């Protein structure tokens, strides 16, 4: 008797498929809809976080009034001359790939001292006049 009970119990436990209820396979459309909904949620989170990052960093940018680019011009393929206003001083900088060189440091009022016969209209004219006065 014990053997038959033990044998019947072991057979019943050995076949869990006999006790499991039949489940239906999810349809292809439902799986596709779930995947697209998840992808849409991730894209919405990505765009929202980028927008928030842009809004938060725009407030504290470097152009908060301390520095201002007065003029910039290309003097070569990848080289530029930039006039940067920092406080009451203008810095004339040479900018090349991997290097920034200070060419001159002048007071802000120096722009009013240019001859009035032909006022410089671009940064190139201003730099040429400044260098010719030296």
Confidence of residue 119 (pLDDT cuts 50, 70, 90): low
- Could you report the per-residue pLDDT of 100-115, keeping only the tens digit for each? 999 999 887 655 444 4
* C-alpha count within 13 angstroms, C-beta hemisphere, residue 119: 6
Q: What is the mean pLDDT of residues 29-50?
A: 95
Q: What are the C-alpha distances in Å from 104 to residues 7, 22, 74, 92?
A: 99, 84, 17, 5
The pTM of the full predicted model, rounded to 2 decimals, is 0.39
Q: What is the mean pLDDT of residues 82-99?
A: 91
Confidence of residue 130 (pLDDT cuts 50, 70, 90): confident
Position 108 scores a pLDDT of 79
Q: What is the mean pLDDT of residues 63-81?
A: 84
User: Comparing 25-29, 91-95, 123-127, which segment has the lowest mean pLDDT?
Assistant: 123-127
Is the CB of residue 120 less than 8 Å from the CB of residue 129?
Answer: yes
């Amino acid at each position: 008797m014990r053997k038959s009970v033990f044998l019947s119990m072991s057979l019943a436990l050995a076949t869990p498929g006999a006790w499991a209820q039949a489940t239906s396979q999810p349809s292809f459309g439902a799986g596709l809809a779930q995947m697209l909904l998840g992808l849409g949620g991730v894209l919405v989170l990505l765009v929202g976080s980028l927008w928030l990052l842009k809004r938060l960093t725009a407030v504290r940018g470097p152009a908060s009034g301390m520095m201002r680019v007065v003029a910039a011009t290309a003097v070569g393929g990848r080289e530029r001359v930039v006039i940067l206003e920092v406080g009451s001083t203008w810095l004339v900088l040479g900018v090349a790939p991997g290097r920034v060189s200070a060419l001159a440091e002048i007071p802000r009022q120096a722009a009013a001292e240019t001859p009035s016969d032909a006022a410089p209209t671009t940064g190139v004219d201003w730099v040429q006049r400044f260098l010719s006065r030296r």
